[in-house]
Each structure stands twice: as C-alpha cells, then as structure tokens.
C-alpha cells in the first residue's frame, strides 16, 4: 500500500508541478487558484462568524494590526510592480483582523485575508516584530504554500482526487485538510506543519516586504529568539520535524535580515 501511495504521489508530482513565478521553485499544484480562492473566502467568512473579532478601530492593538497590514500590502504591490508581475495580485482584496484568542498564531488565506490572534502580541511586543509575523504569513500565501500543502494532502490522503471531487465525496475531510493547510485551528493527524523550505521562503520574502514597508528586518532575530525561548527545549531534533530548528531559523533569519536591509525604508513609518 505504501509503495502504491509513493508511486502515486511521485507520478502526480511529475505531471502537476509548476514553477512559482516569484520564488522560482517547482511546486506540486493539483488545485487551481480559483478553486482555492473560492474555498478560502467561504472558510474565512465562516471563521469570522464563529470567533470573537476585535471591532475595527476599537483598540490600539487592532489599529496596529490594520496599520501594519496596510503598509505591507502597499509594499507588496510595489514589489510585484517592479518585478513586472502585478497580475499575480489579481483578486487580492486585503483584510486585516485581530481575533481575541490565547493561541499564539496568525495566518493569511489566499486573496489577502489576514488574521492575527491576540495571543501572539505578548511575544511580538513591538509593531516591528508584528510586521515580521504578518509579513511571514502573507509570504506563505503569496508563495502559494497553502495551495502546495493542499495538493500534497489531496495526493497523500485522498488519492490525488480533484478538489471538486474531494469536496463532494469527503467534504469533512477536505475542509479539515484546507484548514490545516493554512494553519487555521488544529492540524493534528491531518498534515504536518509547513516544510522547512516553505518556512524559510516565508522568512526570506516576509522580511523583504516588512523592510519595504519601513520596518527594520533585523528585529526578526530577537522575535524568533523569543519564540525559541517558549519551546522550553521540548522540540524534536530538526531532522524529525518539518520546521527548521530554532538555531537554524535564527541563523537563516540573520542572513535574510541583512539581505532585506537594502529594501529598508526607515522613513516610511514610525515603528515602536
């Protein structure tokens, strides 16, 4: 059975790979952006209706999330324009929400739907560190990492079924797969977290976008050090995890921060 699954995934990988127009990396893509965007909008609205969203402009924290998001979105528009790839942002209608939750989390769905949980704010501590987090999550969406993980899940768990077929035959499993692919809620037993390669891509491009928005990318190092201190040394060795080890991530972030400094425009905002 495992051999058949391996052969199936290998065949799908060869026939369904696409080169990402920003990162240049080949990705498994079994679902179209239009399909994913439609499902994302539906799940996003459902999430907001079921969770305590902090009203727009009601708190300094909510205002900060909106401010950071708008600046990063503007920076991304500029970046894609300079790359001659503005069409890749077609369909993006940015929204930035703060949700009351103890969970240390944030995510971005396709189409620019961003949610930050209040539980991550004690870890970010500053507006610049929040920009690091939001830039990272938005970069996941722009690099189509969710689409890629959704495709991997369809291949590994649902036999490579088309999204429409999977939704029709196994709606609950497909919805759970989607939520896991975009880091929403629990993903235990569904799909492992973003791969090392995906995480580092999000770190790299997220810091570029944050720097272009006027946030010092070098603050990413102290943020990831704070995140590492929360693990209490309980994380598995890097080779047993799909995430980079804390030390590897910090070393890579230091490199990416230096590279992103050439995009840094400190006069763009007043980071606290």
Residues 6 or more apart whose Cβ sits within 8 Å of residue 60: none
Cα–Cα separations (whole angstroms), residue 120 to 2, 28, 232: 39, 31, 17
Burial of 110 (0-12, 13-18, 19+ CB in 10 A): buried
221 within 8 A of 250, measured Cβ to Cβ:
yes
Q: What local confidence, expressed as pLDDT, does residue 117 receive?
A: 95
Residues of the chain with pLDDT under 50: 1-15, 160, 186-192, 238-240, 270-272
Q: How far apart are CA 13 and CA 64, in angstroms?
A: 41
Q: How far apart are CA 256 and CA 132, in angstroms?
A: 12
Cα–Cα separations (whole angstroms), residue 271 to 59, 128, 267: 17, 6, 10
177 within 8 A of 157, measured Cβ to Cβ:
yes
Q: Is 116 helix (H, G, I), strand (E, B) or coil?
A: strand
Q: How far apart are CA 70 and CA 214, in angstroms?
A: 12
Q: What local confidence, expressed as pLDDT, does residue 234 receive?
A: 56
Tokens describing residue 92 = 């993006």
12 within 8 A of 160, measured Cβ to Cβ:
yes
Q: What local confidence, expressed as pLDDT, does residue 29 receive?
A: 73
125-157 pLDDT per residue, tens: 999 999 999 999 999 999 988 787 777 776 665
pTM (2 decimals)? Answer: 0.82
């Amino acid at each position: 059975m495992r051999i058949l699954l391996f052969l199936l995934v290998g065949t799908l990988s060869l026939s369904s790979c696409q080169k990402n127009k920003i990162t240049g990396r080949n990705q498994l893509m079994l679902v179209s952006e239009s399909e994913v965007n439609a499902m994302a909008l539906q799940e996003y609205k459902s999430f907001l209706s079921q969770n305590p969203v902090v009203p727009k402009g009601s708190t300094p924290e909510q205002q900060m999330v909106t401010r950071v998001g708008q600046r990063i979105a503007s920076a991304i528009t500029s970046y894609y324009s300079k790359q001659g790839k503005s069409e890749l942002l077609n369909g993006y209608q940015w929204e930035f929400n703060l949700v009351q939750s103890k969970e240390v989390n944030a995510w971005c769905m396709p189409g620019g739907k961003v949610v930050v949980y209040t539980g991550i704010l004690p870890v970010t501590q500053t507006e610049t560190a929040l920009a690091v987090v939001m830039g990272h999550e938005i970069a996941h969406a722009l690099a189509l990492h969710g689409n890629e993980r959704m495709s991997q899940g369809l291949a590994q768990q649902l036999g490579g079924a088309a999204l429409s077929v999977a939704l029709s035959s196994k709606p609950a499993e497909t919805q759970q797969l989607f939520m896991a692919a975009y880091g929403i809620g629990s993903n235990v037993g569904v799909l492992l977290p973003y791969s090392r390669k995906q995480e580092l891509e999000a770190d790299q491009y997220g810091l570029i976008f944050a720097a272009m928005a006027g946030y010092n990318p070098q603050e990413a190092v102290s943020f990831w050090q704070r995140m590492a201190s929360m693990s209490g040394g309980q994380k598995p060795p890097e080779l047993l995890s799909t995430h980079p080890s804390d030390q590897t991530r910090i070393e890579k972030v230091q490199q990416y921060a230096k590279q992103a400094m050439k995009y840094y425009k400190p006069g763009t905002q007043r980071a606290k």
